[in-house]
Amino acid sequence: DAGVIQSPRHEVTEMGQEVTLRCKPISGHNSLFWYRQTMMRGLELLIYFNNNVPIDDSGMPEDRFSAKMPNASFSTLKIQPSEPRDSAVYFCASSRLPDLWGYGYTFGSGTRLTVV
C-alpha cells in the first residue's frame, strides 16, 4: 500500500500564475478530501468527493479555486490566478465510505505552496 500520494511536495510560483496540485488516493478508497493548513486557521476542509462526485465544496475560498476528480485514482486542486495569501500546505486525504467504524483518514504528505 503506497498510501496517499501528493505531488509536488513543494511548489513556488509567482503571483498570477496557475497552480495545479495532484493527489492519488489509496486504491479502494472512495472518498477524497482536500484540506488547507495555515498557522492562522489550522486545517480547513476545502472540498470532498464521494465516488468521484463533489459533495461539499463550501470550503473552497473563492472562484479562483477549483477541484476535479476525473476517476477514482486521481484528483487535482487548481488555483488560477494564485495570490500570496494562498500560500499554505495543502493536504489530500482519502477514506473508505461508508466509514461505519470511523477509522479515520489517510493523509498524503502535503504540498507546501508558496506564492511570491
Partner 1 sequence: AQTVTQSQPEMSVQEAETVTLSCTYDTSESDYYLFWYKQPPSRQMILVIRQEAYKQQNATENRFSVNFQKAAKSFSLKISDSQLGDAAMYFCAYKGTYKYIFGTGTRLKVLA
**Contact footprint for partner 1 (CB under 8 A):** 33, 35, 41-43, 45, 48, 55-56, 89, 91, 93, 97, 99, 101-105, 107, 109-110, 112
Q: Which is nearer to partner 1, 65 or 105 (CB)?
A: 105
| Residue whose C-alpha is closest to residue 67's, from 33, 25, 109, 112 | 33
CB of 65 to partner 1, least distance (A): 18
Query: CA-CA distance, 116 to 109, in Å (whole number)?
Result: 22
Question: What is the smallest separation between the CB atom of 103 and partner 1, expressed in angstroms?
Answer: 7
Q: Which is nearer to partner 1, 18 or 99 (CB)?
A: 99
Complete DSSP assignment for 10-46: EEEE-TT--EEEEEEPPTT--EEEEEEEETTTEEEEE
**Is there a contact between 83 and 103 (Cβ–Cβ < 8 Å)?**
no
Nearest to partner 1 of 75, 111 (CB atom) = 111
Q: Please tell me what DSSP assigns to residue 116.
A: -
Q: How far is the CB of 84 from partner 1 (least distance, A)?
A: 21
Assigned C-alpha cell, 58: 463550501
- Least distance in angstroms from the C-beta of 102 to partner 1: 3
Q: Which is nearer to partner 1, 38 or 80 (CB)?
A: 38
